[in-house]
Amino acid sequence: MEQFDLIVIGGGSGGVRAARIAANHGARVALAEEYRMGGTCVIRGCVPKKLMVYASRFAQEFEEAAGFGWTLDAPRFDWATLKARRDAEVARLEGIYRSNLGNAGVQILEGRATLLDRHTVALSNGECYQAKHILIATGAQPARGPDISGHELAIDSNGFFDLPALPRRVVVQGAGYIALELACVLQLLGAKVTVLVRGEQILRGFDNEMRQHLQAEMAHSGLQFRFGREVQAIARAQGGLQVQLDNGDVLDTDCVLRALGRVPNTSGLGLDTLGIALDAQGAIPVDDFSQTTVPGIYAVGDVTNRVNLTPMAIREGHAFADTVFGGTPRRVDHTLVPTAVFTTPEAGVVGLTEEQALKTHPHLDVYRAVFRPLKATLSGHTGKMLLKLLVDRDTDRVLGFHAVGPDTGEMAQLVGVALQLQATKAALDATLAVHPTAAEELVTMRTPAVRHNL
Ligand SMILES: Cc1cc2nc3c(=O)[nH]c(=O)nc-3n(C[C@H](O)[C@H](O)[C@H](O)COP(=O)(O)OP(=O)(O)OC[C@H]3O[C@@H](n4cnc5c(N)ncnc54)[C@H](O)[C@@H]3O)c2cc1C
């Protein structure tokens, strides 16, 4: 049986990084992938999604151009062209992932992998391999949600990327970032979209004020929301589908997209035979160095359900390889996570929410700017941006940044650097503005909108 120092299961963000770095450290590495190299992010997540977001935003740009003197013939959009070009780019990236692994000396094993014991992995073709260490980086998949009649008529985020044409009417079920991003793409490309939210607000876990602002902006630009509603059944109807809601309402649609969260890919991996128990969400519990309860078996990325984002999976994979093969034990900090929601308008956030900050910082100052960006004065766009900073009055430390509007994802990346450097409000005040920009509001907010004294 062929022997390795490391077998990685899963060729996504975390697995590929871990395999390459371990090989660079001199380890003999194999990586098993059952589908396409690159994983969720490259094949059916971040990358193809962002390309769709770019495509969708032209719709607004064309409209706004008139305010700047442009006259355009009615623009036409062709879904098939976009899909073909997007799929070609994804295939190109997949090829790069493969060749990078090859160049690093990683042996690629094609097929589904199962653990037989602490050192042995079986592939779906019957071949078996052994390694001193095994890394599980199998990611997550769309949650199926409650079993309702007709659920097989709905698609999930994977199905979204396979859609052969733009549906005329879409019902999106879910209120997480994936549901909202895909809803905005479909709506801007021309579909009539209704978003069904089980609770009373979108984006659980984000800053409340940011959530409200973003939701109002999306509603303002034509997305329809129905709150406090569940789907009871989906049925075929003449010319499309019918969605029956729990209050008896029936929605006619052409497509139902369910984005109800994601579940870790752990079933059928053989974890039970190894004595690795899963947590309540079905994820693999690990320690600070990503080791499972079984020595020599590690797990990184979405399968551990810590912070389910590509940069975190990459960082965990890298830290694992440095720890086990590079002689430099590295823990990953899961606390300061800059991130973006690529809705239109988009949201960018980093640090504590106001609700979180208040639990530990009773003297909290909230700085807020709500304004129409300069471009809107001529474009006629009536949406408003939100930039919000949370500052601990006792130490002057900036604790959080929450923003809605164009390019706020890009802002979150840079504010993330400032927060990593433990920036104070005084440091922001001392920073000269870049004028005229929207981001300059960050360094020109003088008076708190709210002064909490708990
Ligand atoms: C629609 C969508 C949009 C997203 N947008 C963003 C975004 O904008 N920014 C961001 O940071 N994150 C985004 N994410 C999340 C991001 O894609 C994940 O956090 C990231 O891909 C996790 O990486 P991973 O290595 O843990 O798993 P994955 O990338 O999911 O890779 C796991 C791999 O393991 C393979 N596999 C599973 N089981 C086996 C087995 N038994 N044998 C062999 N192979 C197996 C799978 O085929 C897959 O290729 C998005 C996700 C989705 C679904």
Q: What type of residue sits at position 313?
A: A
Please, is 335 exposed, middle or buried when counting C-beta atoms within 10 Å of its C-beta (0-12, 13-18, 19+)?
exposed
Q: Residues near 28 by Cβ (< 8 Å), separated by ≥ 6? A: 3, 4, 5, 6
**CA 215 / ligand 1 centre spacing (Å):** 27
410: left (phi over 0), alpha (psi -120 to 50) or beta: alpha
Tell which one of 20, 41, 258 to mutate to probe ligand 1, the residue whose CB is within 8 A of the most ligand atoms.
41
pTM over 0.85: yes
pLDDT along the chain (454 residues), means of 10: 96 98 98 98 98 97 96 94 98 98 98 97 97 98 93 97 98 98 98 97 98 97 95 95 96 97 96 95 97 98 98 98 97 96 98 98 98 94 96 98 98 98 98 97 97 92
Strand partners, 224: 194
What's the alpha-carbon Rg for the chain, to the nearest Å?
A: 24
Nearest CA to ligand 1 atom 52: 45
Both tokens of residue 127? 């071949």
CB 350 within 8 A of CB 415: yes
CB 452 within 8 A of CB 363: yes
**CA 264 / ligand 1 centre spacing (Å):** 10
Ligand 1 pocket at CB < 6 A: 9-15, 32-35, 39-41, 45-46, 49, 112-113, 137-139, 157, 178, 265, 269, 301-303, 308-311, 313
pLDDT of residue 288: 97
pLDDT of residue 350: 98
Both tokens of residue 20? 């390459």
Tell which one of 9, 17, 42, 46 to mutate to probe ligand 1, the residue whose CB is within 8 A of the most ligand atoms.
46
pLDDT of residue 208: 98
pLDDT of residue 146: 87
**Closest-CA residue to 260 (of 122, 144, 427):** 144
213 is catalytic: no
Q: What is the DSSP string of 431-450?
A: SPPPTT-SGGGGGT--S-SE
pLDDT of residue 212: 98
| Alpha carbons 5 and 10: distance in angstroms, whole number | 16
pLDDT of residue 126: 96
Q: What sign for the dihedral angle of Cα 64, 67, 71, 73?
A: positive
